[in-house]
Amino acid sequence: MYEMLIMALPGVLQPENFLAIVFGVLAGICVGAMPGLSATMAISVLIPFTFGLDPLVALGLMAGIYNGAMYGGAIPAVLLKIPGTPAAVATTFDGFPMAQQGRGGEALQVAVVSSAIGGIASALSLMLLAPPLAQVTLLFGPAEMFWIAVVGLLSIVFLLGGNLVKGLVAACFGILVSLVGTDTVNGTDRFTFGFFELLDGIHIVVLLVGLYAMPPVVDLLQTQLDTSQFKYDKDQTESIWVAIPKMLRFWKTWIKSSLIGIWIGILPGAGGSMAAFLSYNEAKRNSKNPDDWGKGEPEGVAAAETSNNADTASALIPALTLGIPGTAVAAIMLGGLLIHGLQPGPMLFRESPDIVFGFMWQFLFGAILLIFLGGSLATNSFAQLLKLPRPLLGSLIVVLMFIGVYSINERMFDVYLMLIFGAIGIAFDKLKFPLPPVVLGLILGSFAEENLRLALTIGLGDWAILTKSTTSLVLISLVVLVVMTPLIKKVRNS
Amino acid sequence: MNRPLRPLTAVCIVLIGACVYLGAEAWGFKPESALLPLTMIISLILLSILLIISDQSSADGAKSTITIASGNAYLVMVGFVISVDLVGFYPTLVIGLPLIAYLFGYKNLRMLAVATAIVSLTIYGLFDFIMMKDFPLGIFG
């Protein structure tokens, strides 16, 4: 299967595809640099605009944005002590003290180089691990696919941390939304309430924009950013190409943090912030001078930024092969694949190898481009983004949200539906209900139902078909493990 | 805060109400079509009850609250959408874009005018001219 990976490369290097990655990285850095905006939000707003585009151009944009935003979050984290994205919290620990000492430019350079290295490692892991895993999953039947959906859903609920009941509510809500529309097996209209617009179900983009874009826009409109601590002197910052050789002393941290980030990315629900914290603590533990950490140690920035970028592409390993995303952004990217007619899962590697392998290359190029685009420009230009008027930006995003959702089917019904999901998103956000399980429920709900019904048809209505194969039993054990792990942890802690 | 009025409790009560309504609807589906919806609805009701119990039994309730400011920002978005439906996309864009920014604290009128002009022309060029998208015309349609 690796030969297909090589064969996909020329397609990615086509000018329009490559430009999409460049534009995506630049846009991603801008989005990540704005506190309150995230890659999740940017991609969910962007997806509708990619409808008419070639799938590789659309996916290149998404890969670029994801890579760019994960680094972009470091800019306000270093300069203002406000993480641009949740994954950049650990970057503030040493990045901000460096900026206070007049070394903000150096901190950003360490951040961008480390982000690129983490991203490259993550893309390589995706290239190496996804193809063989896809081969294995081709052997799965409907019963196994049903259990995979259950494992995916439960793992994002149980491993995400926080309130389990709220996570389960979110997942059930997502599944319920996935059931709206005509039942494809027997033609029953479910929860359509006489609206013909609902017969085809609820478009994932409508839900994504409502849930993921509205809460940050509300935040953007109503909160002012305190830039009084903004301290950045570009004249004191040397060229990134002069700075890189001096950073080579972080090689051990880069390797360790990359491995941690990749592992966390593969685990459903864990996410970049957990990767960054783990790597930061691990690097600090192994440091010769741990007392300097938290006071402006560049290695701390390197550890955090490497790992939060290393979980980007690796989160797509379970997403592309099994249809189970490792992070919220990966869940949204699955939505992006779906709107281009690409069903995530093992068959994707057979049916559209040029696109799926091209997507992997795009992640790699996106990470490499970070050094060129972020490194040479970030220290001078992107820092100025923090001065953009937030209300103006918020009102612009409101317009973009409208255009994006309306453009799907050119009807106002979808826009009103987005408003409803937006209200739910704001309520969920304020009451600390996790949003990734909703998206995963929407993606996996109907998938699980379809496979369950297919398995029961094959088994002539006998539910035992779900436990007959060894793979099913292994997956059931995984379900038990996923459910029990946080419970055991809780008992241990108490 | 008055316990029944705690945001989490209120949201859960709304959720239970919606579930009861959807459950009644799902009851009429063919059995195989009703299986998953009813399972989810019953699960949602039980989980909501659990959340209400935990919220009511805690001393301070859910710490997060849905503030009036969030409501205002949301209402502005609703107003924008209704206005698009009634008077059309471009008139709403030209008035709504600067108005929203102004209402939420950005008072530089010159910048607002420039930004509105740039955004409106870009959207017109990109969507109407290149992508041939038809936006709602409202009363002008």
Q: Tens place of pLDDT for every residue, chain A, 494 residues?
A: 677 888 888 888 888 888 999 988 888 888 777 766 777 777 777 777 777 788 888 888 888 888 888 888 788 788 777 776 667 788 888 888 888 787 888 888 898 899 999 999 999 998 888 888 877 777 788 888 888 888 877 877 776 667 888 889 998 999 999 899 888 777 888 888 888 888 888 887 788 788 888 888 888 787 766 655 555 555 566 777 777 888 888 888 999 999 998 888 877 655 667 788 888 888 888 888 878 888 888 899 999 989 988 888 888 888 888 777 767 778 778 777 877 778 777 777 777 888 888 888 999 999 998 888 876 555 556 666 666 777 888 888 888 888 878 877 888 999 999 999 999 988 888 888 888 788 778 878 888 888 888 898 888 888 888 888 888 898 899 888 878 877 787 777 77
Question: B14 to chain A, minimum CA–CA distance in Å?
Answer: 11
Task: Please indicate, yes or no, if residue A31 is contained in any of the structural domains.
Answer: yes
Domain that includes residue A13, residue range: 2-140+204-434
Single-letter residue type at A163: N
Tell me how many domains chain A contains.
1
Question: B97 to chain A, minimum CA–CA distance in Å?
Answer: 6
Residue A429, CA distances (Å) to A88, A214, A422, A432, A433 in order: 19, 10, 10, 5, 6
Phi, psi at B119, each rounded to 5° = -65, -45
pLDDT band at B135 (very low <50, low <70, confident <90, very high): confident
Q: B96 or A1: which carries more pLDDT confidence?
A: B96
Q: A217 or B42: which carries more pLDDT confidence?
A: B42
The whole-number pLDDT of residue A172 equals: 92
* Whether A166 and B51 lie within 8 Å, measured CB to CB: yes
What's the Rg (C-alpha) of chain A? 22
Structure tokens, A152? 């995916």
Average pLDDT, chain B: 84
The whole-number pLDDT of residue B69 equals: 59
Measure the N-to-C terminal CA separation of chain A; round to a whole number of Å.
48
Q: Is the dihedral of CA A251, A252, A257, A258 positive or negative?
A: positive
pTM: 0.77
Question: B140 to chain A, minimum CA–CA distance in Å?
Answer: 16
Domain boundaries, chain B: 3-57, 68-140
Q: How far apart are CA A3 and CA A76, in angstroms?
A: 42
List the single best residue of A176, A217, A226 to mutate versus B (max B Cβ within 10 A): A176
The whole-number pLDDT of residue A230 equals: 59
Long-range contacts of residues A481-487, Cβ cutoff 8 Å, at least 24 apart: A482/A151, A482/A154, A482/A155, A482/A158, A482/A159, A483/A154, A483/A158, A485/A158, A485/A159, A486/A158, A486/A159, A486/A161, A486/A164
Q: Which residue of A has its CA nearest to B42?
A: A172
Structure tokens, A151? 């494992």
Contact of B141 with chain A, judged by CB distance below 8 Å, is answered with no
- Chain B, residues 67-106, CB within 8 A of chain A, namely 67, 69-70, 72-74, 76-78, 80-81, 84-85, 89, 93, 96-106
* Whether A431 and B7 lie within 8 Å, measured CB to CB: yes
Q: Is the dihedral of CA A403, A438, A307, A237 positive or negative?
A: positive
Chain A residues whose beta carbon lies within 8 Å of the beta carbon of residue B37: 176, 179, 190-191
DSSP, res B135: P
The whole-number pLDDT of residue B83 equals: 92
Residue with tokens 């699960």: B43
Q: How far apart are CA A125 and CA A14, in angstroms?
A: 24
Chain A residues whose beta carbon lies within 8 Å of the beta carbon of residue B64: 430-432
Q: Is the dihedral of CA B83, B84, B88, B89 positive or negative?
A: positive
Q: Average the pLDDT over B130-141 and give the result.
A: 74
DSSP H helices, A286-411, are 298-314, 316-322, 328-339, 346-351, 353-369, 376-378, 390-409
Query: Which residues does residue A182 pair with via DSSP β-bridges, in sequence order?
Result: A189
**For strand A189-190 and strand A181-182, is the pairing parallel, antiparallel, or unpaired?**
antiparallel
The whole-number pLDDT of residue B82 equals: 93
What's the Rg (C-alpha) of chain B? 23
Q: Which residues contact A480 (CB under 8 A, 6 or more apart)?
A: none
Chain B residues whose beta carbon lies within 8 Å of the beta carbon of residue A445: 36
Q: How far apart are CA A336 and CA A332, in angstroms?
A: 6
Torsion of CA A411, A416, A419, A421, to 10 degrees: -90
Q: Which residue of A has its CA nearest to B111?
A: A392
Q: Most distant CA pair in chain B: distance in Å?
A: 63
* Whether B36 and A185 lie within 8 Å, measured CB to CB: no
DSSP H helices, A104-250, are 104-137, 142-159, 164-178, 204-208, 214-222, 240-247
* Whether B74 and A218 lie within 8 Å, measured CB to CB: yes
SS3 state at A191: coil
List the single best residue of A180, A182, A193, A221 to mutate versus B (max B Cβ within 10 A): A221
DSSP, res A189: E
Residue A6, CA distances (Å) to A128, A316, A317, A381 in order: 12, 19, 18, 36
The whole-number pLDDT of residue A1 equals: 67
Q: A319 or B53: which carries more pLDDT confidence?
A: B53
Task: Please indicate, yes or no, if residue A439 is contained in any of the structural domains.
Answer: no
The whole-number pLDDT of residue A306 equals: 92
Task: Please indicate, yes or no, if residue A286 is contained in any of the structural domains.
Answer: yes
Residue A5, CA distances (Å) to A128, A130, A159, A317, A324 in order: 10, 11, 32, 15, 22
Q: DSSP string covering A225-252, please? A: ---TT----GGGPPPHHHHHHHHGGGHH
The whole-number pLDDT of residue B4 equals: 62
Chain A residues whose beta carbon lies within 8 Å of the beta carbon of residue B104: 221-222, 391, 394-395
Residue with tokens 């306000």: A76
Single-letter residue type at A436: P
Q: DSSP string covering A37-90, please? A: --HHHHHHHHGGGGTTS-HHHHHHHHHHHHHHHHHHTHHHHHHHS--SSGGGHH
Q: How far apart are CA A209 and CA A405, in angstroms?
A: 8
Query: Which residues does residue A190 pair with via DSSP β-bridges, in sequence order?
Result: A181
Task: Please indicate, yes or no, if residue A232 is contained in any of the structural domains.
Answer: yes
The whole-number pLDDT of residue B67 equals: 59
Task: Please indicate, yes or no, if residue A474 is contained in any of the structural domains.
Answer: no
Chain A residues whose beta carbon lies within 8 Å of the beta carbon of residue B22: 176, 191
